[in-house]
Amino acid sequence: MKPIIFFAAVALLWSSLSACGGGGGGSGAAAPPPSPSVCDAQQDSINWAALRDADCPRLSDYNLFDAAGAPRTPGQVFEPSVKLFSDYTLKYRVVFIPPGEQARFDAEEAFDFPVGSVISKTFSLPTTTAGDLPARALETRLMIRREHGWKGLPYVWDEDGSEARLRIAGALLPQQILRDAVQVDFTYQVPDANQCLKCHRRGEQGMQPIGVRARYLNQEIDHQGSAVNQLRLWADQGLLRDVPASLEGLFRVPAADMPGVTLAEQARGYLDINCSHCHREGGFAGISGLRLGFEQDPTTASYGICKQPPGYDGGAENLAYDIVPGDAQASILRYRMTQLTARDMMPPVGRKLVHEEGVALISAWIDSLPPQSCDR
């Protein structure tokens, strides 16, 4: 497998599944030890038996990619309409569904995938924060649909890119990236099981995917030189059933570069993909009362307008409200995006750098809101 250039190049061209180590279905039960006969099977096709039953020590044991790094049939590359920030990494996403099986469409939540399905996401670090190639593959996270629910497995790539190895407890990887020609040193974190559940938990449903939802996939993409709706492509290829005959009016989160997308829509799309999986009913931050899905009314207290967050003291700047309309500097939302300590940082996992461009976007949107005094 030669993933370094391939994964990075494809991710850049396509430019949040995110999955990593953890138990499936919220049961907490340990997976059975991998059977050498299953993981070591030599074959030209995907190792579906291992995907269903074993946590294999090497990514190549599943045989998801060919020698050039391309996904084996029936793997389907996909891209959500909005981008999850993960320390400027480029992401290469592929969904694999066992032959003869289909996922079931859902207009609101993650699709229902058959047992044996896997969602793969490779994170590659580019040379600069602008996403310049070359890029080096750091990790590939698999989210596998097992009999009792979803199971996340993180695989960390060797320095030479020849193999990715299972690191169930996560990993800390010293890295460097250039921002405006200045070298930035940081430690990239491959999340462990508990950290993954912070984003992927859905109440009693346990671990669930994030990026495979109609709201993100309902967009036009380039497929073999033609523009095609991504949901329609999945349906036509037999990967997804129960897709509506007409996609007109189906809810979606618009891509930031779509014609006519406003500053407010860009900001709300950013908050949707980066924050709403926690800030929703049943999410890790559901108790906060803050709801950041794109469909939420952005003028209300539940979206953060003049809302005082429970259990947070406002940080070093002693801020009082999540969003103060017309004043980004006084807003906790912006402040926590700029922080890197565990006490103050938001999102609390998935990054070790400040997303300067994201902070600028959210700041510009808050400043554009009609000024309003929250101290009443």
Answer whether residue 233 is part of any domain. Answer: yes
Show the domain range for 161. Answer: 3-241
Where residue 5 falls among pLDDT bands split at 50, 70, 90?
very low
Q: Are residues 234 and 324 part of one domain?
A: no
Q: Are residues 218 and 118 part of one domain?
A: yes
Dump the DSSP string for 11-69: HHHH------SB-STT--PPPPPPPHHHHT---SS--HHHHHH---SBGGGG--B-TTS
Q: Are residues 276 and 230 part of one domain?
A: no
Answer whether residue 347 is part of any domain. Answer: yes
Q: Are residues 233 and 152 part of one domain?
A: yes
Q: What is the DSSP letter of 354?
A: -
259 is written with which tokens?
């014609």
| 124-144 average pLDDT score | 96
Q: Identify the pLDDT of residue 12.
A: 39
Distance CA 218, CA 212 (A): 10
pLDDT(305) > 50: yes
Total number of domains in the chain:
2
Among 14-18, 105-109, 172-176, 297-301, which stretch is predicted with the lowest mean pLDDT? 14-18
Q: Identify the pLDDT of residue 7.
A: 44
CA dihedral sign of residues 64, 70, 76, 82? positive
Taking only the tens place, the pLDDT of each residue in 338-355 is: 999 989 999 888 899 999
Where residue 10 falls among pLDDT bands split at 50, 70, 90?
very low
Query: pTM for the full model?
Result: 0.88
Q: Are residues 284 and 176 part of one domain?
A: no
Answer whether residue 258 is part of any domain. Answer: no
Q: Identify the pLDDT of residue 17.
A: 34
| 15-28 average pLDDT score | 40
pLDDT(173) > 60: yes
Q: Are strands 118-126 and 149-157 parallel, antiparallel or unpaired?
A: unpaired
| 50-74 average pLDDT score | 95
User: Could you identify the residue written with the tokens 């994170």?
Assistant: 123
Amino acid at residue number 324: V
Q: Identify the pLDDT of residue 311.
A: 85
Q: Are residues 331 and 190 part of one domain?
A: no
Taking only the tens place, the pLDDT of each residue in 183-236 is: 999 999 998 866 666 666 665 666 788 889 999 999 999 988 999 999 999 999
Answer whether residue 303 is part of any domain. Answer: yes
Q: What's the mean pLDDT when you consider all of the chain?
A: 88
Distance CA 195, CA 173 (A): 16
Answer whether residue 41 is part of any domain. Answer: yes
Answer whether residue 340 is part of any domain. Answer: yes
Answer whether residue 249 is part of any domain. Answer: no
Q: Identify the pLDDT of residue 318.
A: 95
Strand, coil or helix: what is 194?
A: helix
Q: Identify the pLDDT of residue 18.
A: 38
Answer whether residue 187 is part of any domain. Answer: yes
Q: Are residues 299 and 231 part of one domain?
A: no
Q: Identify the pLDDT of residue 25.
A: 42
Q: Identify the pLDDT of residue 201.
A: 64
The set of residues, in sequence order, having a beta carbon less than 8 Å from that of 273 and lying 6+ positions away, is 16, 80, 82, 83, 84, 216, 253
- Render the burial of 302-340: b for 16+ CB within 10 Å, e for the rest: ebbbbbebeeeeeeeeebbbbbbbebbebbbbbbbbbee
Share of the chain above pLDDT 90, in %: 75
pLDDT(85) > 90: yes
Q: Are residues 204 and 63 part of one domain?
A: yes
Q: Are residues 96 and 31 part of one domain?
A: yes
Q: Are residues 171 and 61 part of one domain?
A: yes
Task: Kindly tell me the burial class for residue 232, based on how many C-beta atoms sit within 10 Å of its own C-beta (0-12, 13-18, 19 or more).
Answer: middle
| 92-108 average pLDDT score | 97
158 is written with which tokens?
């060797």
End residue of a domain, out of 177, 209, 241: 241
Which residues face 140 on adjacent strands?
Answer: 122, 155
Q: Are residues 267 and 234 part of one domain?
A: no
| 119-128 average pLDDT score | 97
CA dihedral in degrees (361, 367, 368, 371; nearest 10)?
A: 160
Integer Rg of the chain from CA: 21
Q: Are residues 288 and 236 part of one domain?
A: no
